[in-house]
Each structure stands twice: as structure tokens, then as C-alpha cells.
Amino acid sequence: MWLTDWPFAEVLCSGKPLTAPMEEVYSTFKLDSSETTTIESYMQEYFSRILQKLKELDYQRQKNKKQKKTPLKSRF
């Protein structure tokens, strides 16, 4: 599944600001606004974690590739 297959992807990629008054929501659900996060900051953290994991996996792949190229005698 690609990001463009997700229903919210069009909204996120549109470039339009995702803002709405939230005071009524906070009061209705008895939420503290200081304990919530925005979708933008949540998505930024989410994709940062994914990118970090991809970098780690690539590092491991490169490391494994180098080990395979090393002659058998030098491994012992």
C-alpha cells in the first residue's frame, strides 16, 4: 500500500493548513490542550522514526555486504 492509497494522504499532501478550533473538543472530552499534539508534529515524528530505522537497516545491509566480500581466512 502506498501513501497515496490512504484516504488522508490527499489532505496531508494538499499543502492546505489543517487547522480548526479545538476548544469545544477539549472541553467536551475534558482534555488538556497542553497534553495533546498536532497532526503535523505527530507525522513529523512518525516519519523521522521510519527514516531512522531505514538508515539503520541500510547500515546493517552495507555492513553485511562488506563481510561477505572479505576472504574466508581474514574472518578467523
Question: pLDDT (tens digit, 9 = 90+) per residue, 33-70?
Answer: 899 888 888 889 999 999 999 999 988 888 887 777 66
| Coil vs helix vs strand at 38 | coil
In this predicted structure, what is the pLDDT of residue 73? 57
In this predicted structure, what is the pLDDT of residue 8? 67
25: Cβ contacts below 8 Å, ≥ 6 apart: 31
Q: Are 1 and 8 in contact (CB under 8 A)?
A: no
In this predicted structure, what is the pLDDT of residue 6? 63
pLDDT at 74 over 80: no
Question: pLDDT (tens digit, 9 = 90+) per residue, 1-41?
Answer: 455 556 667 776 777 777 778 899 999 999 998 998 888 88
